[in-house]
């Protein structure tokens, strides 16, 4: 048995072929209620297809509760809400993601079973499309209602490291991301969605052989805390902050990132205080001003939410290519201009002194820009990095999802109305 404890969101244990737990973690689907065991016909007869599966229970994944999942023929489960062309990029549960094609063999099937407390998905006797002669693979993923995830492997004919990733990514593990929506001012009712991977669990491929299993247990996240006091005093692996406008505890990196930023929660959580209600009696005048400010902020947030809902009801027909957000540095620099102008109007400084100050200001700005660039490069998960990532996605090193890029494009079998838009992936582990 191998234990991996270096993950922030999950701890994992790998059980070898001789460990009794390997057999105990394998779910024998043949012994389950046949009425609840489903063999998806499309998934069992096509290549690169995905089908939506509705759960009968709430499944916690990275602290979020999911009720809908997408099972793909490529040996993984997609956990995202928005279905796009690159399901293999982020937001997945992958016992063995590879270029499996169930249509090449009559014995290949994709089976799933929901007993009310767990979902079992089994890829049964599936073959690699580009390496049929390697043999068939049989493995499964079990998602428990308490958040545990089990990967069990029955037949692995070759080492996972030998599987080619030319035509399809090969991954074993978990991944989650948050989606940020950008609106383009020049084009009404057009949005750009950008997806950022904030965490990934990569399991050791050399440990995956016949009759092995991997059990992953979820660790507590900030989202579990429902009050301010328990949030800011929590002793977990995350720096939890409480946002009064959302009544939510978060580290700032989860699927609710968009709401967290739109409601100015990063600015609100700097003081790490829960004394907003208590200060009413001590400082009524100050509290009244804060309450009014909060009310205006909520109005702006509600307006933003309504605008987003209207945009969602009328999705764009093409992927925008322009960036609608400008960096706020020029605005901050211009804030010093009124002081200089007032000084010049009073005649307290000669003209050449103003020119010298202007040159010094430009040099300071350039030096600050260099320092910020170096800091962002070496600290990709810092608040400053996220600020520039969300506002200038076109300038950040990223991989755009383009058609014909050689990466797999999955087709959803049972579309449920989600928008299929272009995405940008930025890995931040």
From CA 172, how far away is CA 175, in angstroms rounded?
Answer: 10
423: nearest Cα among 415, 414, 409? 409
Q: Is 94 exposed, middle or buried (0-12, 13-18, 19+ CB in 10 A)?
A: buried
Q: Tens digits of per-residue pLDDT, 341-383? A: 344 444 444 567 888 888 999 999 999 888 888 877 776 666 6
Mean pLDDT over residues 16-29, rounded? 93
From CA 286, how far away is CA 409, in angstroms rounded?
Answer: 56
pLDDT at 56 over 60: yes
Bigger pLDDT: 190 or 337? 190
Please tell me whether the overall predicted TM-score, pTM, comes out greater than 0.85 for this model. Answer: no
pLDDT recorded at residue 319: 36
* Mean pLDDT value across the chain: 75
pLDDT recorded at residue 46: 84
Question: In terms of DSSP bridges, do strands 399-400 and 37-39 run parallel, antiparallel, or are they unpaired?
Answer: unpaired
pLDDT at 404 over 50: no
Q: Tens digits of per-residue pLDDT, 154-197? A: 999 999 999 999 999 999 999 999 988 877 777 777 778 888 89
Q: Are 408 and 88 in contact (CB under 8 A)?
A: yes
160: nearest Cα among 141, 142, 134, 140? 134
pLDDT recorded at residue 267: 84
> Per residue in 354-376, is it b (16+ CB within 10 Å) or e — as a string?
eeeeeeeeeeeeeeeeeeeeeeb
CA dihedral for 234, 238, 240, 246, sign (positive or negative): negative
3-state secondary structure of 347: coil
- Tokens 């702006």: give the residue: 300
Side-chain half-sphere exposure of 14, counting CA atoms within 13 A:
19
Q: Tens digits of per-residue pLDDT, 29-44? A: 877 777 778 887 778 7
CA dihedral for 5, 242, 253, 420, sign (positive or negative): positive
**CB neighbour list of residue 274: distance below 8 Å, 6 or more residues apart:** 228, 229, 232, 242
DSSP 97: E
pLDDT recorded at residue 76: 96
From CA 43, how far away is CA 45, in angstroms rounded?
Answer: 6
DSSP 107: T
């Amino acid at each position: 048995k191998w234990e991996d404890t270096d993950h922030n969101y999950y701890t994992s244990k790998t059980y070898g072929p001789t460990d009794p737990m390997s057999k105990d973690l394998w779910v024998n689907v043949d012994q389950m209620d046949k009425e609840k065991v489903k063999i998806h016909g499309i998934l069992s007869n096509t290549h690169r297809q995905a089908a939506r599966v509705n759960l009968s229970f709430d499944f916690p994944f990275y602290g979020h509760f999911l009720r809908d999942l997408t099972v793909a023929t490529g040996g993984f489960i997609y956990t995202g809400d928005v279905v796009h062309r690159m399901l293999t990029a982020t937001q997945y549960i992958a016992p063995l993601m590879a270029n499996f094609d169930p249509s090449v063999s009559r014995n290949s099937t994709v089976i799933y079973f929901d007993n009310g407390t767990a979902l079992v998905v089994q890829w049964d006797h599936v073959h690699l499309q580009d390496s049929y002669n390697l043999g068939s693979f049989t493995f499964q993923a079990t998602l428990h209602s308490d958040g545990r995830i089990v990967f069990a492997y029955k037949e692995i004919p070759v080492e996972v490291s030998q599987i080619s990733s030319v035509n399809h990514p090969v991954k074993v593990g978990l991944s989650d991301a948050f989606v940020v929506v950008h609106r383009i001012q020049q084009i009404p009712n057009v949005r750009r969605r950008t997806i950022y991977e904030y965490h990934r669990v990569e399991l050791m491929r050399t440990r995956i052989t016949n009759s092995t299993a991997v059990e992953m247990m979820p660790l507590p996240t900030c989202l579990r805390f429902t009050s301010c006091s328990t949030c800011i005093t929590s002793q977990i692996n995350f720096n939890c902050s409480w946002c009064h406008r959302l009544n939510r505890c978060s580290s700032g990196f989860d699927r609710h990132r968009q709401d967290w930023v739109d409601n100015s929660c990063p600015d609100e959580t700097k003081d790490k205080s829960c004394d907003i209600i208590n200060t009413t009696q001590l400082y009524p005048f100050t509290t009244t001003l804060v309450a009014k400010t909060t009310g205006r902020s909520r109005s702006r947030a509600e307006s933003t939410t309504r605008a987003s809902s209207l945009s969602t009801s009328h999705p764009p027909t093409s992927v925008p290519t322009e960036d609608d957000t400008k960096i706020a540095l020029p605005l901050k620099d211009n804030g010093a201009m009124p002081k200089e102008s007032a000084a010049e109007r009073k005649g307290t400084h000669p003209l050449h002194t103003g020119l010298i100050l202007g040159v010094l200001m430009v040099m300071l700005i350039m030096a600050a820009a260099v320092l910020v660039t170096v800091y962002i490069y070496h600290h990709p998960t810092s608040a400053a990095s996220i600020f520039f990532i969300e506002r200038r996605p076109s300038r950040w090193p990223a991989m755009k999802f383009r058609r014909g890029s050689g990466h797999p494009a999955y087709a959803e079998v049972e579309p449920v109305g989600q928008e299929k838009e272009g995405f940008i992936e930025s890995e931040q582990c």
